[in-house]
Amino acid sequence: MKTKVLFFMFLGILANAQINRFFYEYKFISDSNNKENVKKEMMLLDIDKNGSNYYSHDKFVADSTGRAELEKQLKAGGGSISVNRREKLGMVSYRVTKQYPDFKTYLFRSISMDKYKIKEDKKPEWKILPEKQKIGEYNAQKATTSFGGRDWTAWFTTDIPIQDGPYVFYGLPGLIVKIEDATGSHSMKLIGNKSLESPEKEAELQLPGNVKILGLDGKDIEVTKDQFKKAWKAYVNDPTKNMREMMMRNGGEAGGKVAFKVKTADGKEFSDPNQIIKEMEKRTKEILQKDNNPIEPDLVN
């Protein structure tokens, strides 16, 4: 009861259109065959009175900059639109939202050109242990859970009386300040926080009817985990299906409605549809082969 009262007191503090932003350093090994290559990403957990939003800082900056550049080109008019990404794109493309007070949780992920909103139907089941230690400036206590195909150890602090944490984790009597899986492949640690005024919501990007920008248009498809698994399996078996279908709809040949080009890392450029499909399939399979150690194995296996 005490924890619940403190939680709602904390939400009361945030009632005046304010966000408390928590910064987590996310370390992860994406390729289990190359454990020396530990990647790092700055993740943000934004909490307000309605819920929380967990996402990559670099991806947010790249998306915002790309959106501003696109809007500028649309206003200027002209016959073509160029989307060039100069910023760090971010290695983590997913995000997680939770809605208070019932902690309804959604994971947002993409497969090829499709965006999915996956409802999380299982609450983490925690075992709180007596061990305590200092994590940064916070007094923290240990807890364990099994989730998504991994065993996790978390450290939470009642110094911050809110039952949330990074990724899909929540439900402890305080904020999770550190969590790591048993293999050491995925670790999230709180490294700072600050308060800021809630930003105004960006207006929905209005694209002309004849303009389609991959990743910027289209609605999220709300699915269950089982439905997402089925879509993921189909993608792995045929990673270029969506692109082939889109190229067929838009001509995909000389004189077609849309000109497609792909440039490889070594500078080679392809414009022939068959070459593009072949190159994309090769590139996708290489990426999937090296990205074999996901944070939630049960979702893609």
Using 50, 70 and 90 to split pLDDT, how confident is the model at 242? confident
Of the chain, the percentage scoring pLDDT greater than 70 comes to 69
- Cβ pair 132, 139 in contact under 8 A: yes
Asked if the model's pLDDT at residue 94 lies above 70, the reply is yes
CA dist 50 and 68 (Å) reads 27
- Distance of alpha carbon 69 from alpha carbon 179, whole angstroms: 37
> Which residues make Cβ contacts (< 8 Å) with residue 105, sequence separation at least 6?
96, 97, 98, 99, 119, 120, 168, 170
The number of angstroms, rounded, from the C-alpha of 241 to the middle of its chain's C-alpha atoms is 23
Cα of first residue to Cα of last residue in the chain, in angstroms, is 39
CB-CB contact of 225 with 147 (8 Å): no
- pTM, to two decimals: 0.80
> For residue 246, what is the DSSP state?
H
pLDDT at 71: 59
CA angle 185, 188, 193 (to 5 degrees): 165
Tens-digit pLDDT profile for residues 145-165: 999 999 999 999 999 999 999
